[in-house]
Amino acid sequence: MGVGPGRLPGLAAILVWVVAATAHGQGAAAPALRPFVMNHRAAFGRQSPADVSFLLDAPAGKHGFLQAANGHLETGDGQRIRLWGVNITDWSPGSTMIPSKADAPMWAATLARFGVNCVRLQFLDLPAPRGLIAAGRNDTLEFDSGQMDREDYFLAELEKRGIYIDLNLLVGRPFRAGDGVVDADKIHEGAKGISLFDPKLIQLQKEYAQKLLTHYNPYTKREYRNDPAVAIVEINNENAIWVGFRGPSPYYDRELDAIYNMWLRKNAAPADLWAVRQATGVSGNDPVPLLSWPEIANTAPQRYQVESRFYLWLERGYFSYMRDYLKNDVGVKCVILATADHSHPSTGYPLELALSSFDVLDGHDYWQHPWERKVKSPMVNDPLNSTVVELSRTPMEGKAYTVSEVNEPFPNDYGAEQIPILAAYGDLEDWDAILWYTFEPKKDADWKPYVGDPFDISVDPVKMTELAAGALLFLRGDVSPARETVTRSYSMEQVFDSYRLPHQDRPYFTPGFPLWAPLQHGSRISSLDGKTTSRFNEGARPNPIVSDTGQLIWQVSKDGHGVVTVDSPRTQALIGFKSAQSRPAANLSASVDNPFSAIVLTSLDGKPIAGSSRLLLTAGSTVENTGMEWNGEHTGLSQWGGSPTLIETVTGRIELRGLTGAIAVLAQPLDGAGLPLGEPLPATRDGDAWMLSIGNPVTTWYTVTVQR
C-alpha cells in the first residue's frame, strides 16, 4: 500500500505529514467520527418521510419504448425523460447482482425510495453464482436456469415500481475453449479489442444477445426485446481498439494484420499505399505490418493517418454491424448504445468519431479512481479537471448524452461533493442520464454495514442520502439548462493526431477552448470530421466561475479551497470548504464547525423553497469504516477497516430565509432507514430567518416541515 513517511527523505516526509494534517482543511484536527449506518431492510414496508419514489412514473415503460429524438431521450409518446440511477454489481463480500426472490421486492423498493428510475445491469455475462452463465462447463454458451429465474423476478419488481433497465451485452464474459475460440486461456474477460474483429467472438456475441433478448420473462409476460421497461441495450462496456493495439496472443495479431492488409488493398489510395510501404520498408506484395505502441510517436505522419483510418473503419463497422443485427435480426425496439467514452487520461475522440452515427453517446468518469494512486484531494479545489469538465468533452449536437458510470470512489475525505455537484451541472449541461457506479445489494440480513469496496454506495451514509436529494434536483431539472451552448469542431486529422500527443497535452477540447466553459455554458461537439474550430478568446480564468443561468457558482479561494453554490428555486446547496464560501443561496446559508461539508436543501413537494411545506436537508462530510487507516501518502489504505460505518457529523447552524408566511419550522432527524430519529428539532426565528441547530443526534439527513 505504499511506503510510510519514516522511509521517505526528510522533505518528502514533511510533505506527507502536511497532506495528512490538512486533509480536513487548514491544518485543523479531524473531527470525531461516529457510527451511522444505512439499514435498507428495516425500511422495507415502512413509510419514510424522505421517500422520493413519487418521482417515478410507474410502471416503467407504460409510455412505450424509450427513443432518442430531438437530441434527448424520450418515451414512446414523445415525453422528455431523464434517467437517474445506479449500476448493480457485487464486488464487495456479501453482495449479489441477482438478489434472491425473497429479497428482490425489498431491493427494488429501496432503489425506488431513493429516486432511482434506472438500473444498469452490467456483469450478467459472468458465470453463476454471480451472473447468468451456467457454471461448471467448458463453455459460456448456456444460462443457469435458477439465476435466470431470479433475474426475471428482480426485473419485474423493478419495473412495476417505475425503474427502467439498461442491459449490457459484452462486459466480463470469460470465454473458454469449449466456445471454440483460439487461445481462450490467454483472453482476458470481455475480450477487449479482439471482440471487435475476431469472427468467432462476434458470432458468440450475437448468439448471447439473441438468447438474452428473446428470453421470455414469465413475471412480466414479455420477452426482453418486447419489454418497454428495457430502456437501453449496450453492445459493449468500455471496449475499443486503437493504433498500436496488440492482442493477447500472436494468433490475434496475425488476424488483425491480415484484416489490415485486406483493407489496404481495397481502400487505400495508391499514394497512401506507396507511402506506407516506403515507411515500413515493405516491397512487392509482402504484408504491411501494423504499428506497435512504441513506434507511434516517431512514425511517418502519413502512415499513422492511414492506420488511424483503418481502426476507424474497423470500430465503425463492428458497432454498426452489431446495431443492425440487434435492430433487424433480434428485434430490439429500445435505445441502443455502442460503448462509452472512457479513460480520460487519453483522448476519446477517435472512438467517438467511430460512434458518431449512433443517436446516443455515453461517458464514464471517476474523480481519482483507485488505480490512479493519487493523494486524495477535493474536486471542488480543481474545477478545470472535475468530472463535470471531463464528461462534457463527449456530448454532440443533436444527440442524447448519458453518463452510465461515475463516482468519487471510497475512501476520499471529500466524497460528499460528487453527487450534488454532478446533478446540478448535469442539469446545466442538459444531459439525459446519470447512473452511479455502483449499488451492491447484500445477500444476508446479518451482513455487517461497512463500505466493502471503493465503488459501492449502497451503505455509504452520505452518498445514499444525497442520492435521494440528487434525484429531486436532476429529474425535475431544478437547475435551468444553460442559456448558451458553445460548440467546437474538429477535422478528422486532428481527431487522429490527438492520440499521439503527450499525456499532459492531450486535449479534451479544441486548442484555445477554455476548460471552464462547461461550467458556464452548455458544451457540445458540432463535428468530428469538418472544419477545425478557430481559437477562442480564452482570457483569464474567472473566479468565481458563474453559470450563465446565475444558478451555479464555483469559487476557489486564494488559499486553494473551493466551494460550489447551487441557487435554484427548488434546490439550493453549499458544497466545499467553509473558508471559501462565495455567497449564500437565496434561502440557505450555513455556519458549521466542519471545514468541509456538502449541505443540500431541496423541496419535497415540488414548490419553490420559499413556499414549500416539506423539504429534504442532507448534510454530509467524511465517511470511514471502523478501524480504517490511511497509508503514509494518503493515496490509499493500509487497513480497510470494517463495521460499522462512521461519519463526521456536520454540526452547526443552518439558516433558512424568505420562507413565505412561516410561523414554525421543524427539522426531523432521520436514521439509516429514513425513519424519524428522536424528536423534531425546532428552529428559532430571527427576523426573516429561521435558525436550525444540527449535529445532535448523529445523522446525515433531515426532513424539514414549514408550518404556515
DSSP codes of every residue in 315-375? HHHHHHHHHHIIIIII---SEEE---B--TTS--HHHHHHTTTSSEEEEEEESS-GGG-PP
Average pLDDT taken over every residue of the chain: 93
Residue 568: pLDDT band (50, 70, 90) is very high
What mean pLDDT comes out for the span 235-241? 96
Residue 534: pLDDT band (50, 70, 90) is confident
> What is the pLDDT at residue 4?
30
> What is the pLDDT at residue 505?
77
Beta-bridge partners for 524: 487
Q: How far apart are CA 562 and CA 544, in angstroms?
A: 10
Residue 582: pLDDT band (50, 70, 90) is low
Q: pTM of the prediction? A: 0.94
- Secondary structure (DSSP) of 236-268: ESS----TT---SSHHHHHHHHHHHHHHHHHH-
Query: Vertex 124, ends 121 and 130: CA angle to 5°?
Result: 115
Tens digit of each residue's pLDDT (9 = 90 or more) over 82-125: 999 999 999 999 999 999 999 999 999 999 999 999 999 999 99
Rg for the chain, CA atoms, rounded: 26
> What is the pLDDT at residue 535?
67
> What is the pLDDT at residue 531?
87
Q: Looking at domain 78-241+315-483, what is its CATH homologous superfamily? A: Glycosidases (3.20.20.80)
Tens digit of each residue's pLDDT (9 = 90 or more) over 655-671: 999 999 999 999 999 99
What mean pLDDT comes out for the span 336-364? 95
Tens digit of each residue's pLDDT (9 = 90 or more) over 4-28: 333 333 333 333 333 333 444 444 5
Write down the domain spans for the chain: 78-241+315-483, 251-305, 486-527
Cell of 138: 467448458
> What is the pLDDT at residue 556?
96
> What is the pLDDT at residue 343?
87
Over 90: is that where the pLDDT of 345 sits?
A: no
Over 60: is that where the pLDDT of 532 sits?
A: yes
Tens digit of each residue's pLDDT (9 = 90 or more) over 141-166: 999 999 999 999 999 999 999 999 99
What mean pLDDT comes out for the span 457-474? 98
Whether the link from the prior residue into 697 is cis, omega within 30° of 0, is: yes
* Residue 281 CB neighbours (<10 A): 9
Per the CB < 8 A criterion, the answer to whether 698 and 670 are in contact is no
Alpha helices, DSSP H only, in 120-165?
Answer: 145-160
Tens digit of each residue's pLDDT (9 = 90 or more) over 371-420: 888 899 999 999 999 999 999 999 999 999 999 999 999 999 999 999 99
> What is the pLDDT at residue 5?
30
Give the rounded percent of residues in the chain with a pLDDT score beyond 90. Answer: 88
> What is the pLDDT at residue 580?
85
Nearest to 118 by CA among 604, 454, 441, 475: 475
Q: Which residue has the cell 414523445?
A: 78
